[in-house]
Amino acid sequence: MKVTVNKAFFLGQALPVAEFGKIALSAFSGRLAVASYGNTVNFRVPADVIESGQVDLTLEEWRQLLAKVQQAPGVMVNIEL
């Protein structure tokens, strides 16, 4: 799965979900969908989907992804999993 998203928009949606356990990310049809297992928190952000797919992340993997996005330079950021 590989997408490009607006960094600020993604983080604005994603940071409130930082403490939840397993997270599912799906990239398809111009959007990145994020859902957490065990609660009703989910969101979608517009994305340039380069390679569609789905991945499940543990809490630690999700936190690492958020840190990587926060540290990335520029307005747009690539997410590749």
CATH of 2-80, one of 3.10.150.10, 3.40.1280.10, 3.40.50.1100, 1.10.260.40: 3.10.150.10
Q: What is the domain partition of the chain in residue ranges?
A: 2-80
Look at the alpha carbons of 51, 5, 71, 12 in this order and tell me if their dihedral is positive or negative.
Answer: negative
Spell out the residues 6+ positions from residue 76 whose beta carbon is closer than 8 angstroms to its own: 4, 5, 6, 7
**Tally of CA atoms within 13 A in the half-sphere of 15 that contains its CB:** 10
Digit-by-digit pLDDT tens for the chain (81 residues) are 999 999 999 999 998 876 777 899 999 999 999 998 877 778 999 999 999 999 999 989 999 999 999 999 999 999 999
Spatial distance between the Cα atoms of 80 and 61, rounded to a whole number of angstroms: 13
